Amino acid sequence: MNLLFIIPGFFNIEEYQEKIYNNNVPLGTLQISSFLKEKFQIKTDLIDIRIEKENNNYFSLKNNYDMIIKSYLKILDSNNIQKFQYIGINCYTSYQYLPTLIIGNLIRKEFPEKKIIVGGYHPSSYPDDFIYKNSPFDYIVKDEAELSLFNLLKKDNLNNREFQSPKIIEKCDLIDINLLPPPDYELYLSKYSNRDDFNFDLYLSRGCPYQCNFCSINYPFRTMHYSKFKENMDYMIRLFNKFKKDKIKISFADQSFFDNTNAESILDYIIQNDLQDKFKFSCQSRIESIANRHNILKKIQKSKLIIGFGFESANPNILIEMNKTKTPSQYIQSMKKIIEYYKKNNNIYCRINIVCGFPGETKRTFKKTAEFIQKNALDENIQISPSLFSCYPNTPVYRNMDYYIKKYGSLFNKMWWKSNSENLFKLSILKKSSKQYSIKDILLDYKNEYTRILNLFKHKNFSDLIIWKKFYSKWYYELCEEI
Ligand code: B12
Ligand code: SF4
Please write the tens of the pLDDT for every residue from 142-152. Answer: 999 999 999 99
Pocket test for ligand 1, best of 23, 24, 200, 307 (most atoms within 8 A of CB): 24
Q: What local confidence, expressed as pLDDT, does residue 421 receive?
A: 78
Asked whether 288 lines ligand 1 (CB < 6 A), one says no
Q: How many angstroms is it from 10 CA to the middle of ligand 2?
A: 25
Q: What local confidence, expressed as pLDDT, does residue 194 receive?
A: 85
Please identify every stretch of the chain with a pLDDT value under 50, giving residue numbers as ranges. Answer: none
Strands 222-223 and 115-119: unpaired
Helix count and strand count (H, E) for the chain: 18, 16
pLDDT digits (tens, 9 = 90+) for 190-217: 999 888 777 899 999 999 999 999 999 8
Q: How many angstroms is it from 245 CA to the middle of ligand 2?
A: 32
Q: What local confidence, expressed as pLDDT, does residue 293 receive?
A: 86
Pick the ligand that lies closest to the CA of residue 395. 1
For residue 10, the ligand 1 atom closest to its alpha carbon is 78
Handedness of CA 258, 264, 269, 275 (dihedral sign): positive
Asked whether 88 lines ligand 1 (CB < 6 A), one says yes
Which residue has a Cα nearest atom 46 of ligand 1? 119
Contact by Cβ (8 Å): 314, 372: yes
Asked whether 353 lines ligand 1 (CB < 6 A), one says no
Q: What local confidence, expressed as pLDDT, does residue 483 receive?
A: 65
d(CA 247, CA 265): 23
For residue 25, the ligand 1 atom closest to its alpha carbon is 8
Contact by Cβ (8 Å): 406, 399: no
Going from the C-alpha of 5 to that of each of 70, 86, 118, 149, the distances in angstroms are 20, 8, 10, 13
Predicted TM-score (pTM) of this structure: 0.96
Contact by Cβ (8 Å): 107, 114: yes
235-254 exposure pattern, b = at least 16 Cβ within 10 A, e = fewer: bbbebbeeeeeeebbbbbbb
d(CA 72, CA 36): 26
Report which secondary-structure segment, H or E, holds 439: helix 439-456
Q: What local confidence, expressed as pLDDT, does residue 162 receive?
A: 58
Q: What local confidence, expressed as pLDDT, does residue 291 receive?
A: 85
Domains, the chain, in order of start with CATH, read: 2-169 (3.40.50.2300), 202-482 (3.80.30.20)
The candidate with the shortest Cα–Cα distance to 411, out of 432, 388, 390, 440, is 432
The candidate with the shortest Cα–Cα distance to 343, out of 280, 296, 297, is 297
Q: What local confidence, expressed as pLDDT, does residue 178 receive?
A: 97
Handedness of CA 396, 401, 405, 407 (dihedral sign): negative
As for ligand 2, residues whose beta carbon falls within 6 Å of it are 208, 210-212, 215, 218, 255-256, 286, 310
Pick the ligand that lies closest to the CA of residue 171. 1
Q: What local confidence, expressed as pLDDT, does residue 458 receive?
A: 66
Q: What local confidence, expressed as pLDDT, does residue 459 receive?
A: 63
The candidate with the shortest Cα–Cα distance to 122, out of 374, 398, 319, 327, is 398
d(CA 463, CA 456): 16
Pocket test for ligand 1, best of 11, 29, 185 (most atoms within 8 A of CB): 29
Asked whether 94 lines ligand 1 (CB < 6 A), one says yes
Q: How many angstroms is it from 447 CA to the middle of ligand 2?
A: 25
Q: How many angstroms is it from 27 CA to the middle of ligand 1?
A: 8
For residue 93, the ligand 1 atom closest to its alpha carbon is 84
Which residue has a Cα nearest atom 7 of ligand 2? 255
For residue 324, the ligand 2 atom closest to its alpha carbon is 4
pLDDT digits (tens, 9 = 90+) for 161-194: 555 789 999 988 899 999 999 999 999 999 998 8
Contact by Cβ (8 Å): 1, 21: no
Q: What local confidence, expressed as pLDDT, does residue 144 receive?
A: 97
DSSP calls for 80-148: TGGG-SEEEEE--SGGGHHHHHHHHHHHHHHSTT-EEEEESHHHHH-GGGG-STT---SEEE-S--HHH
Q: How many angstroms is it from 293 CA to the middle of ligand 2?
A: 20
For residue 22, the ligand 1 atom closest to its alpha carbon is 77
